[in-house]
Amino acid sequence: MHGLISGVINDLSTRGSIGNSTGVDIANALERQVGILKHSWPLLRAVPPGLLWLHTMEEARKRAFRGLVDRPVGCNSITWSEIAFGDAKEATKGPWSNSLPVQIGQSGLVLRGRLDRLDIEGSTGTASITDYKSGSAPAKASAVVFGQGAELQRVFYALAVRALLPEARRVVSCLTYLANEPAASFEISAEDLDKALSAAAGYTAAAADILRGGLVAPGRPKSFFDQLTLALPADNEAYRKTKQRVFAQANASLDRLWSSV
């Protein structure tokens, strides 16, 4: 799905811009990208059996189209997709140098990553970030900012764009859920984004201090079994109950994050 969206944006950018494209233009470009990926992906990675692979591509096409026609941009906009930041080894092209570091407040940590999509509107100076989600919007998605720590990327992406594009007069950061029909998009208001950026920097500094102090205590238990978790106690529930007070003391500075909306 991300590959299709990125391919369409690049395709339409060579023919003008996505802001000047109609729904038919987007649908045609999407069909071209489906044809490319349908045959190229099996040469590079494992894919499902033939019939299921065709179904997967069709579902990805539908969701990609929803994302591409959602929140249309102006004719003066420039759009980038899958652009890296904070990593000199990445060769993706964007409106900044990938070697520029992105500092996370006063934590002493730097941030690197990749944006699903960035639109810059020339006439208004607005930089709009879109993070695509393949699933459905959760309940009360409009109120979600941190989601108990599960939705930090939208805030950190805004942090990166503000740091790398100081000339942008406005930064908008949005989550778009593509399983909804039509796609469901939720952006953080300017006031809430300012508060979230300050809070995220504070949480990052607190987490860094915890680790530097040698207190590597686990956070809240996951609702699913994580196969990548190593050396779990035989009775994880009893272990957590015994260590509950010690863990709580170690992680006290992150309590507000894990209980946040």
DSSP 117: E
Residues above pLDDT 90, as percent of the chain:
67
Question: If you average pLDDT over residues 76-101, what whole number do you get?
Answer: 92
- Residue 183 neighbours by CB under 8 Å, 6+ apart: 63, 66, 67, 69, 70, 176, 177
Tell me the two tokens of residue 197: 């950026």
What's the pLDDT tens digit per position in 218-235? 777 766 666 666 677 778
Tell me the two tokens of residue 90: 């990445």
Question: If you average pLDDT over residues 195-222, what whole number do you get?
Answer: 89
SS3 assignment, position 26: helix
Whether the pLDDT of residue 258 is over 90: the answer is no
User: What's the pLDDT band for 73 if we cut at 50, 70, 90?
Assistant: confident
Whether the pLDDT of residue 50 is over 70: the answer is yes
Q: What is the pLDDT of residue 148?
A: 87
